Amino acid sequence: MKTPSALFLLSLAGIAGTPTAPASTPSPDNAGIYAFTMKSIDGKDVPLSTYTGKVMLIVNVASRCGFTPQYKDLEALYTRYADSGLVVLGFPANNFGSQEPGTEAEIKAFCTTTYGVTFPMFSKLSVKGDDQHPLYRWLTSEDTDPIFAGSVKWNFTKYLVDRKGNVIGKFGSSVKPLSDELVEAVESALRR
C-alpha cells in the first residue's frame, strides 16, 4: 500500500493522476477552499480567497503537544518560501488530549513569544467529530480529493494546497516541516 506522501509524489509525476477540482464544494459557486471565510486569531474575517494563487500549508496546531516545537520549523518554512508564494495557515484545535485549552489571546501570545510565529493564525476550531468545522470537513472529504481523504489523526497534520486550491498532499504529525519530504513537496508545488 502506498503512503499518502508516496501518493503525493506519484500524483506530481503524473502516475496517480493530477488532482482535479473538487467534485463537491462548500458553496454554490464551486469556489472550493476559496469559499471559506475564517476568523483570524484576532477575530477578523479572513476569506481564504485572499490566498488565491498561493501555495497553502494548512496545519492544525496545539500549544501543549509533543509536536508543538514544530511551530519553529513551520515559521522557518514560511519565512524561507513566503516570497515564492507559500503561506502557512495555523488552525488551533483542542481535539486531541485537550492540548489546546487556551483562549485565542493566550494562543497568540504563546506562539509569538515562544516561537516567533508570524504566519497567519486563526481562531480555534474543531478538526473532527460532530462539531468539525466545515473547512476540515472539506479537507477530509472523499469528494474533495479521494487520495488524501480521511480523518485528522493528531495535532500538526499538514495539508498542502496548490495555487489553484486543490489538495495535493497530506502529511502526518511526525513529518517535520523542514524534512526533505515536505520541503520537496512545497518546492514542487511552488514551481507549478
Q: Does the annotation count 65 as an active-site position?
A: yes
Active-site hit among 31, 65, 87, 149: 65
**Residue 127: all three cell numbers together:** 478538526
Residue 69 gets the label, from left (phi > 0), alpha (psi -120 to 50) or beta, of alpha
- How far is residue 123's CA from residue 43's CA, in Å, rounded to a whole number? 7
Q: In Å, how far are 75, 81, 145 from 78, measured between CA atoms?
A: 5, 5, 25
- How far is residue 14's CA from residue 36's CA, in Å, rounded to a whole number? 29
Question: Which residues belong to the active site?
Answer: 65
